[in-house]
């Protein structure tokens, strides 16, 4: 007698979660420039090989965390003639100053660069005092 078994649907495994990837994949610190104007601090992080969908920016315990994941399968399939750049995901954590208004932080990703705008609180912006 043959035993009847129910068919079990096999689901394709999607990419690891960000937390699992932090433990299993390699990560390097992206090169970052930070500068300021009177109103904001501006951060530019270089993440070549990362698409907009694979970038994550989060605030956690007074720190700004930036992450970018590459497609390892695609990168490993290349036949390199010369390879001088490191192939890895990107991760960096910055302590946020009290002078930054965390509720107004904005981020954009374009051409492999993450641009984060960190607005200053009004209380720390320079102001001119009128003389009577």
- Burial class for 38, CB neighbours closer than 10 Å (0-12, 13-18, 19+): exposed
Q: Nearest to residue 91, comparing CAs of 65, 58, 61, 70?
A: 65
Instruction: Look at residue 9 and tell me if it is in a domain.
Output: no
pLDDT of 13 higher than 60 = no
Instruction: Look at residue 107 and tell me if it is in a domain.
Output: yes
pLDDT band of residue 73 (cuts 50, 70, 90) is confident
Instruction: Look at residue 96 and tell me if it is in a domain.
Output: yes
pLDDT for the residue numbered 5: 46
Segment 79-108 shows an average pLDDT of 91
Instruction: Look at residue 2 and tell me if it is in a domain.
Output: no
* Predicted model pTM: 0.76
Say which CATH number the domain at 101 has: 2.60.40.790
Range of the domain at 105: 33-75+85-124
Number of structural domains, the chain? 1
Instruction: Look at residue 131 and tell me if it is in a domain.
Output: no
Other beta carbons less than 10 A from residue 44's beta carbon:
14
Instruction: Look at residue 54 and tell me if it is in a domain.
Output: yes
Q: Whole-angstrom Cα distance, residue 128 to residue 22?
A: 47
pLDDT of 120 higher than 60 = yes
Segment 36-58 shows an average pLDDT of 94
pLDDT band of residue 9 (cuts 50, 70, 90) is very low
Instruction: Look at residue 42 and tell me if it is in a domain.
Output: yes
The share of the chain scoring above pLDDT 70, in percent, equals 89
Instruction: Look at residue 19 and tell me if it is in a domain.
Output: no
**Which of the 8 DSSP states describes residue 49?**
T
């Amino acid at each position: 007698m043959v035993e009847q078994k129910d068919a079990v649907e096999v689901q394709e495994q999607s990419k690891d979660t960000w937390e699992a990837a932090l433990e299993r994949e390699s990560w390097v610190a992206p090169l970052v420039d930070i500068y300021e104007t009177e109103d904001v601090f501006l951060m530019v992080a270089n993440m070549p090989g990362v698409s907009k969908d694979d970038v994550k920016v989060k605030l956690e315990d007074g720190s700004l965390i930036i992450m970018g994941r590459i497609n390892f399968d695609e990168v490993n399939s290349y036949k390199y003639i010369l390879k001088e750049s490191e192939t890895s995901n990107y991760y960096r954590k910055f302590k946020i100053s009290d002078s930054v208004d965390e509720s107004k932080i904005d981020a954009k990703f374009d051409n492999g660069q993450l641009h984060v705008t960190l607005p200053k609180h009004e209380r720390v912006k320079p102001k001119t005092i009128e003389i009577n």
